[in-house]
Structure 1
Amino acid sequence: MKHTSSLRLSRRAMLAGLGAMAALPTYASTAPLNIVATTGMIADMARTIGGDLVSVKGLMGAGVDPHAYRQTRSDIVAMTRADAVLWHGLYLEAQMEDFLADLGRKRPVHAIAETLDPTRLVAHEDYDGRFDPHVWMDPDLWVQCVPAVVDALSDLRPDARGTFEANAEVFVSEAEALSIYARDLLLSVPTERRVLLTAHDAFGYFGTAYEFEVLGIQGISTESEAGLNRIGELVDLLVARDLPAVFVETSVSDRNIRALVEGAAAQGHEVRIGGSLFSDAMGPDGTYEGTWLGMIDHNVTTIARALGANAPAGGRLGKLRAAA
Structure 2
Amino acid sequence: MKKHLLILSLVVFTFSCKSEKKSNDKLNVITTTTMITDLVKNIGGGDINLQGLMGSGVDPHLYKASEGDVTKLASADIIFYNGLHLEGKLVEVFEKMKTQKTVAISDALDKSTLIGSEYFASNYDPHIWFNIDYWIQATHFVANTLSEAVPEKREAFQLNAAKYAEQLKNLKTNLTTTVNTLPKDKRILVTAHDAFNYFGKAFGFEVVGLQGISTATEAGVQDVQKLSAFIIENKVKAIFIESSVPKRTIEALQAAVNSKNHHVEIGGELFSDALGTSGTKEGTYIGMFEHNVNTIVNALK
TM surpasses 0.5: yes
- How far off its partner does 1:130 sit? 2.1
Aligned residue number for residue 44 of structure 1: 38
State how far apart, in whole Å, the 2-side matches of 1:125 and 1:191 are.
Answer: 29
1:172 to 165, 170, 173: 165
Aligned residue number for residue 273 of structure 2: 280
State how far apart, in whole Å, the 2-side matches of 1:226 and 1:196 are.
Answer: 17
1:88 to 70, 78, 82: 82
Which sits farther off after the overlay, 124-133 or 281-290?
A: 124-133
2:66 to 64, 69, 72: 72
Amino acid at match of 1:118: K
- How far off its partner does 1:288 sit? 1.1
Q: Does structure 2 retain, via aligned residues, the 8 Å contact 1:90–1:114?
A: no
State how far apart, in whole Å, the 2-side matches of 1:42 and 1:305 are.
Answer: 28
Residues 182-221 of structure 1, C-alpha deviations (whole Å, 9 max, x = no match): 1111122122210000000000000000000000001110
Aligned residue number for residue 289 of structure 1: 282
DSSP 3-state at the match of 2:209: strand
TM-score normalised over the length of structure 1 = 0.84
Aligned residue number for residue 23 of structure 2: 28
Amino-acid identity (%): 39
Aligned residue number for residue 16 of structure 1: none
Residues 146-186 of structure 1, C-alpha deviations (whole Å, 9 max, x = no match): 23211221122111111101100111111011101111111
Amino acid at match of 1:45: L
DSSP 3-state at the match of 2:49: strand
Alignment of 1:78-227 (within 5 A): 78-105=72-99, 108-127=101-120, 130-227=123-220
In structure 1, the gaps of 5 or more residues are: 1-24, 309-324
Residues 102-137 of structure 1, C-alpha deviations (whole Å, 9 max, x = no match): 2233x6110111331012201123146521010101
State how far apart, in whole Å, the 2-side matches of 1:260 and 1:153 are.
Answer: 45
- How far off its partner does 1:225 sit? 1.8
Amino acid at match of 2:93: F
State how far apart, in whole Å, the 1-side matches of 2:84 and 2:201 are.
Answer: 19
- How far off its partner does 1:51 sit? 1.1
Q: What's the C-alpha RMSD, in Å, of the aligned pairs?
A: 1.4
1:248 to 218, 229, 241: 241
Amino acid at match of 2:126: P
State how far apart, in whole Å, the 1-side matches of 2:121 and 2:61 are.
Answer: 17
State how far apart, in whole Å, the 2-side matches of 1:140 and 1:176 are.
Answer: 8
Alignment of 1:234-245 (within 5 A): 234-245=227-238
Q: Does structure 1 retain, via aligned residues, the 8 Å contact 2:144–2:158?
A: no
Alignment of 1:253-268 (within 5 A): 253-268=246-261
State how far apart, in whole Å, the 1-side matches of 2:74 and 2:279 are.
Answer: 26
State how far apart, in whole Å, the 1-side matches of 2:22 and 2:43 are.
Answer: 18
Amino acid at match of 1:36: I
State how far apart, in whole Å, the 1-side matches of 2:204 and 2:289 are.
Answer: 16
Distance 1:27 1:175, change over 3 A: farther
- How far off its partner does 1:280 sit? 0.2
- How far off its partner does 1:73 sit? 0.9
- How far off its partner does 1:70 sit? 0.8
In structure 2, the gaps of 5 or more residues are: 1-19
- How far off its partner does 1:27 sit? 5.7
Amino acid at match of 1:286: G
State how far apart, in whole Å, the 2-side matches of 1:73 and 1:188 are.
Answer: 49
Q: Does structure 1 retain, via aligned residues, the 8 Å contact 2:239–2:250?
A: yes
- How far off its partner does 1:26 sit? 8.1
State how far apart, in whole Å, the 1-side matches of 2:117 and 2:271 are.
Answer: 21
